[in-house]
């Protein structure tokens, strides 16, 4: 039962109906049971790990708060974080480290006998571990009181709309909302249903229509350079549509229960720099890395070189978090280099723009920066999408080859699309772009739409639903569900 299924919609409808039917004091039980049932349906074998992690974090938070000195609090916090990261490391990174050590030993002609372990990655462990770490750190710094109600805390740890793929929430924002009595609110229900429908739209009509096309190129033993370029650009569109759709559905579901989750995307492919991109892409992860990795690393640092090193380490952590493979490490390093280079050359690039008089045309200048940023992001995603470091470098070389960008080659590469699929995709892609254009001008497309005539509004809603039902295709779940 994934978000994109009739089973989930029926399951959630029952939860919403029951939620507003029962008394507030019983709602935490409903949400907790719903969260565990949802997780169990997806990955029942890891329910014990989820329960153990919840209990451990709950009691560790209380112990931190009860310590009398800052030094004692810090010790307990570090022990707690170490245990949480140990579980994450064992399940997600043991074989990655083990295989890397084996490769080094083979190269150095050493004897290394630790065997490969059959380890299955627990669903959502990366997401709930990061929430747990932020909770313990915030208690240590006095930003958050240790929660005493075990039920409410358990919901924070496993709230089913955002458990699988975020947004990564802070306890300070989420816990308090569970305790407030939410009355039935038509606006919340209306908005939530629209966000869910829009998530279905992007997932089934953009992301899942692109997925097989992208896979056919990256899984091919001998793709052409133009195919790699086209597939990488399409993958960037697919990844955004897929992940933002997941966030849309999570935010919509939570809103229908009266809970406000953090927006996770703000049109990242319209960013004017790599720094701006990370302020728009997977925002809750970016702010988590800023607050719990970058800022602690920069504490007391004043030299630019030290700040740059902290940036590189932060992006390496981001890469490692995304996947236990060297291509993800390289992807994170590439973004770290982008970020450092962008800051170091900011003044110089401004002079160039002034010298060629590009800055005299603000709109053109903006679109040049958007285009360059998008291409840089696309290049990094060659490493993100490739299934090995070897393939990543081969594909990156093809991506950077000038002949791969010839119009004739790109037109030929379009042959991987059937004409009908291409027309269908382009039609719905344009709809999404119009939606985003309105959003950039009015901050909220839904608010703008609500001011239209009732006929216009319902025509658009019916169009979304019928488009999903008639033209939507179903994939294998969400890309970030695997992280």
Higher-confidence residue: 478 or 146? 146
Chain CA centroid to CA 149, Å: 29
Q: Look up residue 329 and give its two tokens.
A: 């490490």
Question: Which tens digits make up the pLDDT trace of 292-311?
Answer: 999 999 887 778 888 999 99
Q: Which of 58-62, 68-72, 104-108 has the highest mean pLDDT?
A: 58-62
pLDDT of residue 482: 60
pLDDT at 450: 78
Does residue 153 surpass a pLDDT of 80? yes
Q: Sorting pLDDT into bands at 50, 70 and 90, what band is 111?
A: confident
User: What does the domain layout of the chain look like in residue ranges?
Assistant: 6-183, 188-482
CA-to-CA distance for 168 and 126, rounded, in angstroms? Answer: 10
Could you tell me what percent of the chain has a pLDDT over 70?
98
Q: What's the token pair of residue 382?
A: 């060659």
pLDDT of residue 309: 93
Run of H or E including 377 = helix 362-385
Top pLDDT among 243 and 360 is at 243
- Give the span between the Cα atoms of 483 and 48, in whole angstroms: 19
Query: What are the CA-CA distances from residue 58 to residues 53, 150, 164, 266 (Å)?
Result: 8, 7, 20, 33
pLDDT of residue 36: 94
User: pLDDT value at position 481?
Assistant: 62
Token pair listed for 238: 């697919």
Q: Mind listing the pLDDT tens digit for each residue in 392-423?
A: 999 999 999 998 898 888 888 888 888 888 88
- Condensed to tens digits (0 to 9), the pLDDT of residues 7-48 reads 889 999 999 999 999 999 999 999 999 999 999 998 889 999
Provide DSSP, 260-276.
PPPP--S-GGG-SSHHH
What integer is the mean pLDDT of 212-217?
90
Residue 192: burial class (beta carbons within 10 Å; 0-12, 13-18, 19+): buried
Query: In b/e form, how buried is each residue of 284-303, taking b as 16+ CB within 10 angstroms?
Result: bbbbbbeebbbeebbeeeee
Q: Which residues are catalytic?
A: 322
pLDDT of residue 78: 95
Q: Greatest CA separation found in the chain? A: 75
Which pLDDT score is estimated for 483? 59
Q: What is the pLDDT of residue 114?
A: 76
Lowest-pLDDT range of 3-7, 54-58, 138-142, 181-185 = 3-7
Average model confidence (pLDDT) for the chain?
89
Average of pLDDT values for 170-188? 91
Query: What span, in angstroms and rounded, lies between the C-alpha atoms of 7 and 17?
Result: 16
What's the Cα-to-Cα distance from 367 to each of 298, 359, 379, 466, 480, rounded to whole Å? 33, 11, 18, 34, 29
Chain segment 323-381, per-residue pLDDT in tens: 888 999 999 999 999 999 999 888 888 888 888 888 788 889 899 999 999 999 999 99
> Residue 138 phi/psi, 5° resolution?
-65, -35
Residue 4 host element (H or E): none
User: Minimal CA–CA distance to 179: which of 21, 16, 28?
Assistant: 28
Please report the pLDDT score of residue 456 as a whole number.
83
- pLDDT value of position 416: 81
């Amino acid at each position: 039962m994934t978000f994109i299924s009739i089973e989930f919609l029926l399951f959630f409808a029952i939860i919403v109906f029951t939620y507003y039917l029962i008394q507030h004091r019983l709602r935490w039980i409903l949400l907790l049971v719903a969260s565990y049932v949802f997780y169990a349906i997806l990955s029942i074998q890891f329910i014990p790990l989820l329960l153990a992690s919840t209990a451990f974090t709950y009691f560790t938070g209380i112990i931190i708060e009860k310590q009398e000195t800052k030094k004692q609090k810090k010790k307990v916090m570090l022990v707690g974080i170490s245990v949480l990261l140990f579980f994450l490391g064992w399940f997600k990174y043991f074989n990655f480290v083990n295989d890397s050590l084996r490769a080094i030993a083979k190269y150095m002609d050493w004897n290394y006998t630790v065997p490969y372990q059959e380890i299955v990655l627990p669903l959502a462990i990366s997401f709930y571990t990061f929430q747990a770490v932020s909770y313990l750190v915030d208690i240590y710094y006095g930003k958050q009181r240790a929660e005493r109600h075990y039920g409410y805390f358990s919901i924070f740890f496993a709230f089913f709309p955002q458990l699988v793929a975020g947004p990564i929430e802070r306890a300070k924002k989420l816990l308090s909302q569970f305790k407030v009595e939410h009355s039935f609110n038509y606006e919340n229900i209306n908005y939530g249903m629209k966000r869910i429908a829009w998530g279905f739209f992007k997932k089934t009509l953009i992301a899942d229509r692109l997925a097989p096309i992208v896979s056919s190129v990256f899984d091919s033993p001998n793709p052409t350079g133009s195919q790699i370029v086209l597939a990488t650009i399409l993958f960037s569109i697919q990844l955004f549509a897929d992940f933002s759709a997941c966030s849309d559905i999570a935010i919509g579901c939570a809103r229908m229960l009266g809970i406000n989750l953090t927006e996770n995307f703000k049109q990242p492919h319209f960013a004017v720099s790599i720094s701006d991109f990370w302020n728009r892409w997977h925002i809750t992860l970016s702010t988590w890395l800023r607050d719990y990795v970058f800022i602690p690393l920069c504490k007391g640092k004043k030299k630019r070189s030290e700040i740059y090193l902290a940036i590189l380490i932060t992006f390496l952590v981001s890469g490692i978090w995304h996947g236990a493979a060297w291509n993800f490490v390289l992807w994170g390093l590439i973004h770290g280099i982008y970020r450092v280079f962008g800051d170091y050359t900011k003044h110089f690039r401004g002079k160039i723009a002034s010298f060629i008089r590009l800055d005299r045309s603000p709109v053109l200048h903006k679109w040049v920066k958007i285009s360059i940023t998008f291409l840089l992001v696309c290049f990094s995603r060659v490493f993100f999408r490739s299934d090995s470091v070897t393939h990543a470098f081969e594909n990156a070389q093809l991506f950077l080859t000038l002949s791969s960008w010839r119009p004739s080659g790109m037109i030929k590469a379009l042959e991987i699309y059937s004409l009908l699929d291409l027309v269908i995709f382009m039609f719905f892609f344009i709809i999404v772009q119009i939606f985003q254009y309105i959003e950039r001008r009015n901050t909220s497309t839904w608010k703008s739409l609500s001011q239209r005539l009732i006929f216009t509004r319902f025509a658009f809603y019916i169009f979304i639903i019928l488009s999903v039902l008639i033209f939507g295709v179903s994939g294998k779940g969400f890309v970030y569900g695997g992280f």
